[in-house]
Chains A and B, each alone.
Chain A
Amino acid sequence: RKEVEQDPGPFNVPEGATVAFNCTYSNSASQSFFWYRQDCRKEPKLLMSVYSSGNEDGRFTAQLNRASQYISLLIRDSKLSDSATYLCVASNYGGSQGNLIFGKGTKLSVKP
């Protein structure tokens, strides 16, 4: 079975801290990767796509390591509003069960 594995946390960090999450994926044929953010009792929202060369969006940086099959998300200068669950997602390339595999999420809590 193709899986995406994440540390569930919670990660409890003070405001202004830098925090990093990793996740691993089992399908070596996966082509596309994403990070989603999900607030409590809300729908997941796309945070950013993850590109092979790595990409940055403001305080957020995503990296992909294909050789080791892991994806990372770095959040700099954490804000209280960053508190949420972060879902790691990989494409199920060639799979018959939909096209994206979601991890169970890593919970982040940013404290004052």
Chain B
Amino acid sequence: DGGITQSPKYLFRKEGQNVTLSCEQNLNHDAMYWYRQDPGQGLRLIYYSQIVNDFQKGDIAEGYSVSREKKESFPLTVTSAQKNPTAFYLCASSITGGSGNQPQHFGDGTRLSIL
């Protein structure tokens, strides 16, 4: 089945550690996105990529890094510089990016907690 796969489902980070969240899609979508959701809050955009080998900062990029070496993959690294990483991380994709005419489809998320 086509879709977006995020792994792991749950992740624990030790202080000072970098961790990487995986996001893979087989929908042949050009655009991919990473959001963070805190309890009772809306989605906040971390990074997005409209095309392979290109990505842009969102509203809360500090302490995070991404890469887009392949169309189907958009991993997110939560670095030790991110002092409050505990949240629900959601990856999404859309057919195209930038025009805003396409809905985004989400993976089932990764819950990150600090040990």
| Residues 58-101 of chain A, each 1 if its beta carbon lies under 8 Å from chain B, else 0 | 00000000000000000000000000000101011101111110
A-B pair number, CB within 8 angstroms: 63
Q: Give the residue of A93, A96, A98 whose beta carbon is less than 8 angstroms from that of B33.
A: A98
In the complex the two chains form, what is the Cα distance from A19 to B94 in whole Å?
A: 30
Do residues B106 and A32 form an inter-chain contact, with CB atoms below 8 A?
Answer: no
**Could you tell me the dominant secondary structure of chain A's interface residues?**
loop
- Once the chains bind, are B48 and A42 in contact (CB under 8 Å)? no
Pick the contact of B100 from A32, A43, A87, A103 — CB < 8 Å? A32
Decide yes or no: A46 and B105 within 8 Å by CB, A99-B31, A102-B43, A105-B42 being known contacts: yes
B1 CB–A CB distance under 8 Å = no
| Interface size class of chain A, counting residues whose CB lies under 8 Å from the partner chain | 20 to 34
Contact with A along B55-76 (1 / 0, CB 8 A): 0101100000000000000000
Inter-chain contacts of A100 with B (CB < 8 A): 100, 103-104
Q: How far is the CA of A87 from the CA of B41 in the complex (A)?
A: 11
Closest to A44 in B: B106
Other-chain contact of A31, B35, B59, B101 (Cβ < 8 Å) = B101
Cβ-defined partner of A32 (8 Å) among B41, B42, B101:
B101
Min distance, Cβ A12 to any Cβ of chain B, angstroms = 17
Known: A103-B42, A104-B41. A45 touches B100 (CB 8 A): no
Which chain B positions have C-beta within 8 A of A34? Answer: 103
Q: Please state if A49 and B108 are interface contacts (CB–CB under 8 Å).
A: no
**Residue positions of A touching B, CB distance < 8 A:** 30-32, 34, 41-46, 49, 87, 89, 91-93, 95-100, 102-105
